[in-house]
Amino acid sequence: SVAMELGEGVEADLRIGGKMGPMSGDPVDLRVRVGKIVPNASQVFGQGRAKLGDSVALHGPNGVDIVLISHRTQTFSPHVFSNVGIDPTQKKILIVKSMQHFYAGFAPIAKKILHVSTPGALVPDMAQIPFTHARQDLWPRKL
């Protein structure tokens, strides 16, 4: 990734996200400082480990920290943060991109968990997806 090429400690303007398609939203342009970089990182998932690929911490405006990974996967455990030097127990708010698999890893450290549905290709309410070739009489459209 660009952040890995820049190196730890470098401050730069980066474009983040917006790569999956129109339903996933536009990219965000931010001025960030590159934090810890970890090649071939992983996270705990059940009794095993799940690949994250190359991981990097970005430190943005207003104290916002962002973790980017090169392997597309959900966040399962706090290791996503601790791998790159961010202590998730010291954060007032953590936002993870995961449908439900995060719960077992984060419930023990969370005061409260809020489930939020955001636009995208994978939403809890499948009726929100603008299918163009699916028959309209299929569930969940036909209720």
Q: Is residue 142 part of a domain?
A: no
Q: Say if 143 falls within a structural domain.
A: no
Residues 83 and 38 sit within 8 Å (Cβ to Cβ): yes
Quickly tell me which residue has 């953590």 as its tokens. Answer: 94
Strands (E), 60-130: 65-69
pTM of the full structure: 0.83
Whole-number Å distance between alpha carbons of 83 and 43: 8
Task: Give the containing element (helix H, strand E) for 45.
Answer: strand 28-45
Structural domain count, the chain? 1
Asked whether residue 140 is domain-assigned, the answer is no
| Model pLDDT for residues 117-138, shown as the tens digit of each residue | 777 666 667 667 777 787 777 7
pLDDT digits (tens, 9 = 90+) for 12-69: 999 998 777 777 788 999 999 999 999 999 998 888 999 999 999 999 999 999 999 9
Does residue 138 fall inside a structural domain?
Answer: no
| Inside any domain, residue 30 | yes
Q: Is residue 135 part of a domain?
A: no
Query: What domain range includes position 6?
Result: 2-128
> Is 27 within the bounds of a domain?
yes
Residue 136 lies in a domain: no
88 — phi, psi (to 5°)?
A: -65, -20
